[in-house]
Homo-oligomer: A and B are copies of this chain.
Amino acid sequence: MNSFVKELIPQLIEWRRTFHALPELGFMEYITTYRIGKELEAMGFTLHVGKEALKEDSRLGLPKEADLLAHEEKAAAWGVEKEWLEKMRNGNTGLVAEWDTGKQGDHIGFRFDIDALPIKECAEESHLPSKNGFVSGEENVMHACAHDGHTTIGLGVAKYIASHSDELKGKFTLLFQPAEEGGRGARPMRDKGWLDDVDAFYSGHIGINSMDVGTIAATTKGFLASTKFDITFKGVSSHAGMHPELGKNALLAATTTANNLYGIPRHHDGVSRVNVGKLTAGSARNIISEDSFMEIELRGQTEKISNHMVERAMRIIKASAEMHDVDYSIESVGVTESMSCDEELIPKITQWCEGSEFVKEVQPVAPVSGSEDASLMMNRVQEHGGKATYMLFGTKLDYPHHHPQFDYEEEVLAVAVETYIRILKGGSGDV
C-alpha cells in the first residue's frame, strides 16, 4: 500500500493547493463542497449533499442571509451546477460519502473538516503559498487551520477505498463537515444520524510542533467542552440629560453581565473558562443605550463543569436584564463537547502502522487545548457502543494555527493518508 500513497503524492499536493487558493468560510463552502463532491462522484461514492447531509435546524451560528445569497451567486458564477447549488441553498454545505464493500464487516466513519477562517493571508514572498502562487484569492479568508489539508486527506482516503474495495470489508462513511470553526457544523451532521451505527470513528488534525513529520499521536487529551453564546439586550432609549429616569439601559445590562460572568465560581471537578470577547452598546453619547450585544464563550473540562458554567451564565444574563428592565435573547452559536479517546485503540493503531514508510512513530497520546466539535460525533459513536479517537499528525510549524503566515510541511498529507488507510484496513478486519 505504500506505493499507492507514494504515487498519490502529486495529486495530494495539487488538491491541497487548489483548496488553499479558494477558501470559504463556514456554511459558505459551496464551491469547496462541489469540488469535493465531483471528485467523489467520479470515484463512485454514494453522495448526500447539503440538505441531504445536514439536519438544517441543528445548525448554529449561521451567517447572515445577505452574505449567503451573495456567496451563492458567486458560486453559481464560478460554475457550481444549479442542481448542486439547490441542495446547498441557505448555508447547507458539506457532504457525506458512503461506500459499502458488500462484505460483512465493521462500519468505519471518518470526519474531514473543510471550512476556512476570516483571516487575511500574508502576501509576502517569505510565505510559501504566496511564493508558489496558491495564496488565497479571497479577500480576508484563509485556510489558516489546515482544513485544506484535511479535505485533501479525505479525498486521498476515498480514492484508496474506491480503488481497493475488493480487498476491504464492511462499510465506510466519510463526513466532509462544514463550519468546524466556532463548533457549528458537527451538530447538524450528527443529528442527521450518520454516526448512529458507526463501529469506529476516526478524525484528527495536522500539526503539532513537538512532533516531526512521520510522527503521529494515536489519541489526544485536553479538549474542553465549549459553548458560544451571542447575547442581545434590547432596552428603551432616552435623552440622558433630560429624562434619565425613562431609559431602560441596555448598555448597563451588558456591562453588568460582563462583570459578573467572570465571577462564576470555579468548580471542584476541574478546569473551567469564561470570556466576553466582544461587547458593543449604544449609539450616541447623550442617549441612554437601547441596544447592546455580546459574544461570550464558556468552557469546562467535563460536561458537568460545562453545564455549571452555562447554567450560571444564563442566570447572570437573565438577572442583568431584569435588573435593568430590558429584554434579552441568548443565541447558541456553537458548541463542542469534552471528549475521551478510547485508549484501547492505541495498541491497535500502533500495530497497524508498524513497518510503514511514512508513519515512523506512533505516540500514545498528545496533549492539546482549545475545543473541537468532532467531539459531538465521537460522543455519539461511543454512546452507541462504538470506539473513537482524535489523532494528531506531526509537522513543523513556523507560525501557530490561525496566524496569517500559517503553513505546514506538505509531506504530512501522505503520512495522514497512510495512517487512515492502515486503520481502515486494520479496523475493518482486513487480512
A residues with a Cβ closer than 8 A to B are 182, 224, 226, 228, 239-247, 249, 251-252, 254-256, 258-260, 262-263, 265-269, 271-289, 292, 295-297, 299, 308, 315-316, 318-320, 322-323, 325, 369-371
Interchain CB contact under 8 A, B242 and A267: no
Interchain CB contact under 8 A, B262 and A252: yes
A285-B275 contact, Cβ under 8 Å, with A224-B241, A242-B268, A242-B369: yes
Residues of B within 8 A of A272 (CB): 266
Nearest-Cβ distance from residue A227 to partner chain B, whole angstroms: 11
User: Can you spell out 24 A-B residue pairs with CB atoms less than 8 angstroms apart?
Assistant: A182-B285, A240-B275, A240-B297, A241-B370, A242-B268, A244-B266, A244-B268, A249-B265, A251-B277, A252-B263, A252-B276, A255-B259, A256-B260, A260-B323, A265-B288, A266-B271, A275-B288, A278-B281, A278-B283, A279-B282, A279-B289, A315-B323, A318-B322, A323-B323
A282-B273 contact, Cβ under 8 Å, with A260-B256, A371-B241: no
Interchain CB contact under 8 A, B281 and A286: no
Interchain CB contact under 8 A, B273 and A277: no
Q: How far is the CA of A315 from the CA of B321 in the complex (A)?
A: 10
Specify how many copies of this chain sit in the oligomer: 4
Chain A at the B interface: mostly helix, strand, loop or mixed? Answer: mixed
Interchain CB contact under 8 A, A252 and B244: no
Nearest-Cβ distance from residue A189 to partner chain B, whole angstroms: 22
Most buried by B among A244, A258, A273, A280: A258
Most buried by B among A247, A296, A320: A320
Nearest residue (CB) in B for A264 is B262
Nearest-Cβ distance from residue A335 to partner chain B, whole angstroms: 13
A267-B244 contact, Cβ under 8 Å, with A278-B283, A320-B323, A323-B319: yes
A252-B258 contact, Cβ under 8 Å, with A286-B275, A320-B323: yes
Residues of B within 8 A of A370 (CB): 239, 241-242
| Residue from the list B267, B299, B316 in contact with A241, Cβ < 8 A | B299
